[in-house]
Amino acid sequence: MKLYVGNLPHATTEQELTDIFAAFGAVVSAKIILDRDTGRSRGFGFVEMGSKEEAEKAIEEMNGKEVGGRTIVVNEARQREKRDDNRSFNSKRRF
């Protein structure tokens, strides 16, 4: 089960994220989302736990907890909404 972890301190590493969630079971993967222009953390990431039970325990224990001075949000990750591939920066521009 994949978890969304939000409001992370920008200095949080993927290894630190793994270490935090390992207390609740097997961490299959941990990913911090980076800004594509700056390479800096966007303040959120995803953790995939080994089982649904481990993920639910992590949500229960970690949602609302303080990490690095920030109160994090942890919940089940949702599917990313499909983006319109035909959009453009000047889509409202008239010729």
Q: Give residue-wise pLDDT tens across range 30-52.
A: 999 999 999 999 999 999 999 99
Write down the residue that tokens 């994949």 correspond to: 2
Residue with tokens 């690095």, as numbered in its chain:
68
- The residue range of the domain holding 51 is 2-76
- 41 lies in some domain: yes
Q: For position 20, which CATH number holds? A: 3.30.70.330
* Number of helical (H) and strand (E) elements in the chain, helices listed first: 2, 6
pLDDT the model gives residue 79: 86
Q: HEC string of 39-85? A: CCEEEEEEEEECCHHHHHHHHHHHCCCEECCEECEEEECCCCCCCCC
Sites in the chain below the pLDDT cut of 70? 84-95
> Is 35 domain-assigned?
yes
- Kindly state the tokens that stand for 21: 């969630």
